Structure 1
Amino acid sequence: MLKGSQTLSSNYLIKQLPKATVFVNKRLQIVHASDSWITYFNFSNDTVFGKNISELFGEISKDWKTVLNDCLKGKPSDVGVERFLDTENDEKWFEWSNIPWYDENENIIGVIIQTDDVTEKVHNELKLEKLEVLLREKSDIAKIGSWEYDMLKDEITWSDMTKAIHEVPKDYIPTIEKGIDFYKQGYCRNTISMAVNKAIESGTAWNEKLQIITAKGNEKWVIAAGKPVFKNEKLIGLIGTFQDVNDQVLSEIKTKENEHLLKTLIDHLPLNVFIKDKESRKVLVNKAECDYLGVSGPEEVLGKTDYDFYDEETANITREDDLHVMNSKTPILGEERGSIKKNGDAITFLTSKIPLIGDDGTAYGLVGISMDITNLKQKEEELRDLINVTSLQNKKLVNFAHIVSHNLRSHTANFSMLLDFLIHEKSEEEKKNIIGMLIDASDNLLETLENLNEVVAISTNTNLEKKPINLNEKIKVVQQNLAAFLLNNNAKIVNSISDDVHIKAVPAYIESILMNFITNGVKYKDPERNPEINLSATSNNGYTILSIADNGMGIDLKKYGDKLFGMYKTFHDKKDSRGIGLYITKNQIEAMNGKVIACSEVGKGTTFNIYFNEKD
């Protein structure tokens, strides 16, 4: 404060004052001002001095006018806050303090005004006030209360909302023990007790959904949250929130009950049920659909499309169906569909797709209901195959009967003729020849009966068990058994089959099949070259295909193709050709649900492709 002898010797000192300061006379006109004051308000020297405060700041508040007038009368000053728009129209807030300005005779000649920039402080206070209002509104809407526990004073305070949730009066004085006693006895009370204790002992926060029993005896679900408060690394208390979520929890429970009822219903339907969104992503599936897709639960299906479970061609078809149903809003009902799963399984099902129509009249998804009829289709195929097999067997039986009748009649006629010769023959020497011929005829008859018996055994024995067989191991056994035969004929076997190739076959049959085809390839060799047998294996469409190719004489398939696997059919002039081997081999292959196809060219060789069924 300037009094008496204290006079301003120079305006220079005022200009350098670090705090924004201005001196006004009794008419509130600017006499002196610090540079910091001029800079703060973005004034200029030529527009400040001699001007009235009202000219610079506009209409000042009544409070400030009163304080200035009181200062001119020598009364003490209060601190006030004013709003100001600078030359760039930016809002500023400044805090002013005013003291009387005395001359050397202690006469009041004006007012000394000092200002501080409190713009940020005011803005923060406004934000805080808004935030507090917003929090109060949110607290009322969300039913969230707060609480605070002061460990030093051993006092706990509850907000009004916390008291309202507990249904206690506003003057209720809580304690830690009383607060814990509100929780439902058992799990809820034990959980909150341990949470509070753990927070005090180890500084752990908590957030639990529990039940309380209010002062009025009502059960409520609440979310109780809390955390420790530290000062200088020392625990001084706890703070937390308390939210009434009873309506939400009860609604969730009711919704879950309805969902459980619906899920139980659709899970026990003997149909695949699913719901898709507009992008054909599955948003609901029942147990039958999960089983059908080969997954353990819905979580492996939800959010995925048919592209994740089927081949691209099948997925494209189902996507087109989905789009047609949703765009046309026309359902597909009971249509038969076939597809291939990504694991290669072929499936057939009856499907229905019904559009889900929203309030705006557009489809937002669809409900799908399908039934896997693969087994039914398979049974149809099996029945059809059984009919075909029965028809084939009947033809074979008729053919076999003709063969038996023809062959046995030939043997009988031969025996009858030789016996007649023997009865009427007088020469002992000739009788011996006839007896020799009868012995040969008897041997031939026995061989024929053995061949016929083997064919019958193959056709009628349905109990032979197919086993997994390593193909190369069987080939090695046959090679060893034929070692001398192959050596005598300068024959070579070229085997390009991998050691890990396995087939499902009757062990006794596979050796016989390999033996027949390999020996035939050597037996009917081309006289111009040494025999060579090439073995290879591939897999295709459920079959392992064994190829046995020779470089022998070859067979004219146009001439003999329909008779190639017939009984007692021969196509070369070999003396030891009996025409039974290929017939028996074909029967063995077919008895194992396989098939054999021959490719041959005269003078180049023959290839037999033997199909071993990988499933049956």
Structure 2
Amino acid sequence: ISFGLFVLVTVFFGFIAYRKIRANAKKMINDGALQVKLSDELAFQNHQLNDFANITSHNLRSSAANMTSLIEIAEEKSTLEDYKMIFEMMKKVSGNLNDSLNELIEILHIKRNTSVEKETLHFEEIFTTVTETLQGEILKSEATVNADFSAARSVLFSKIYLESIVQNLIGNSLKYRSPERKPVVNVRTFRISGKIVLEVSDNGLGIDLTRYGHKIFGMHQVFHKHPDAKGIGLFMTKAQIESLGGKIEVQSNGVDGTTFSVYFPE
């Protein structure tokens, strides 16, 4: 009887110990999963902060450069109407920058949101905002910027990302213009196999893709000498597009222009 009681007590305490070990193990697994989740969320938020910091610094540089270009347009012979026109353009540049910064701040307030908000965006509205912001550089370079969005007028995407993408691509077309001809930038949309494509082409310096094709979207990669070149714009543009399931391609013969094609996710 005493042996049977011993076995019973041993089995009982063994069962209790097993339950406790299993509960502790489950708790450790849950805690580990929680730590992994928190780590992933923290890494994502750090990536978002870095992304938004890049957008902010890029937009600030672009707006500052365009304000400088607008100021440089003014001459001693400029009339009062000329000054009024320049002032109105500067108001639009500063207003667009302020709107962009406010949108970034609003996004950063959503700390637990691990996805970038998408909304239906009209290309014409984005194009107008960007060209107003770049008005100083457009006037200074005597550029012609054409747009045709008849094939696809809107897209579901992040507003802050799309404005940044369009501004980077048009801004690069103006920045890397050829000294031999006045810049012409053509922006259009079309559809391929149900996907919306945004194309930005120019008649600028072009890019030697045989030599630089594998580096073109890299961080701090610069292919032409320019005082404002930082090698961040295309890297950031590619990251923004791919983060939402799209892709970007580039075509150039390295002599007379470049074409960037942005493929949006379905």
- Structures share fold, TM-score greater than 0.5: yes
Change (3 A) 1:558 1:461: farther
Local SS of the residue matching 1:610: strand
Structure 1: stretches of 5+ with no match in the other structure: 1-396, 398-456
Instruction: Measure how far apart 1:569 and its partner are.
Output: 0.5
Task: Say if 2:240 is the partner of 1:574.
Answer: no
Task: Say if 2:142 is the partner of 1:490.
Answer: yes
Partner letter of residue 511 of structure 1? E
The answer as to whether partners of 1:544 and 1:612 remain within 8 angstroms in 2 is yes
RMSD between aligned residues: 2.4
**Structure 1 segments of 4 or more deviating over 3 A?**
none
How do 1:228-267 residues align onto structure 2 when only pairs under 5 Å count? none
Match of 1:464 among 116, 135, 144: 116
Instruction: Measure how far apart 1:493 and its partner are.
Output: 0.5
Q: Which residue of 1 aligns with 2:207?
A: 555
Task: Say if 2:264 is the partner of 1:612.
Answer: yes
The answer as to whether partners of 1:526 and 1:603 remain within 8 angstroms in 2 is no
Local SS of the residue matching 1:477: helix
Match of 2:197 among 530, 542, 545: 545
Distance 1:585 1:500 in 2: 21
**Larger radius of gyration between Structure 1 and Structure 2:** 1
Instruction: Measure how far apart 1:481 and its partner are.
Output: 1.3
Q: Which residue of 1 aligns with 2:170?
A: 518
Q: Which residue of 1 aligns with 2:83?
A: none
Task: Say if 2:221 is the partner of 1:536.
Answer: no
Instruction: Measure how far apart 1:500 and its partner are.
Output: 5.9
The answer as to whether partners of 2:177 and 2:205 remain within 8 angstroms in 1 is yes
Q: Which residue of 2 aligns with 1:130?
A: none
Task: Say if 2:208 is the partner of 1:585.
Answer: no
Change (3 A) 1:594 1:461: farther
Q: Which residue of 2 aligns with 1:475?
A: 127
Task: Say if 2:244 is the partner of 1:600.
Answer: no
- Per the normalisation by structure 1, the TM-score is 0.25
Percent identity between matched residues is 39
Instruction: Measure how far apart 1:489 and its partner are.
Output: 1.1
The answer as to whether partners of 2:152 and 2:196 remain within 8 angstroms in 1 is no
Local SS of the residue matching 2:138: helix
Q: Which has the higher contact order (CA 8 A, sep 6+)?
A: 2
Instruction: Measure how far apart 1:479 and its partner are.
Output: 1.0
Local SS of the residue matching 1:553: coil
Change (3 A) 1:461 1:599: farther
The answer as to whether partners of 1:533 and 1:548 remain within 8 angstroms in 2 is yes
Task: Say if 2:158 is the partner of 1:506.
Answer: yes
Which structure shows the higher helix fraction?
2
The answer as to whether partners of 2:151 and 2:190 remain within 8 angstroms in 1 is no
Change (3 A) 1:492 1:462: farther
How do 1:170-189 residues align onto structure 2 when only pairs under 5 Å count? none
Instruction: Measure how far apart 1:499 and its partner are.
Output: 8.2
CA deviations on 1:80-122 (whole Å, 9 max, x unpaired) are xxxxxxxxxxxxxxxxxxxxxxxxxxxxxxxxxxxxxxxxxxx
Local SS of the residue matching 1:563: coil
Change (3 A) 1:524 1:500: closer
Distance 2:144 2:213 in 1: 27
Which structure shows the higher strand fraction?
1
The answer as to whether partners of 2:245 and 2:264 remain within 8 angstroms in 1 is yes
Distance 1:548 1:461 in 2: 31
Distance 1:462 1:596 in 2: 23
Q: Which residue of 2 aligns with 1:564?
A: 216
Distance 1:491 1:485 in 2: 8
Partner letter of residue 258 of structure 2? T
Local SS of the residue matching 2:149: coil
- Per the normalisation by structure 2, the TM-score is 0.56
CA deviations on 1:498-522 (whole Å, 9 max, x unpaired) are 2861111100001000100001001
Q: Which residue of 2 aligns with 1:291?
A: none
How do 1:373-452 residues align onto structure 2 when only pairs under 5 Å count? none
Local SS of the residue matching 2:250: strand
Q: Which residue of 2 aligns with 1:244?
A: none
Instruction: Measure how far apart 1:542 and its partner are.
Output: 3.4
CA deviations on 1:453-493 (whole Å, 9 max, x unpaired) are xxxx9xx9742111111111111111111112211111110
Instruction: Measure how far apart 1:613 and its partner are.
Output: 1.2
Matched positions, count: 160
Which stretch has the larger CA shift, 565-574 or 534-543? 534-543
Q: Which residue of 2 aligns with 1:335?
A: none
CA deviations on 1:305-354 (whole Å, 9 max, x unpaired) are xxxxxxxxxxxxxxxxxxxxxxxxxxxxxxxxxxxxxxxxxxxxxxxxxx
Instruction: Measure how far apart 1:549 and its partner are.
Output: 0.1
Local SS of the residue matching 2:167: helix
How do 1:72-151 residues align onto structure 2 when only pairs under 5 Å count? none
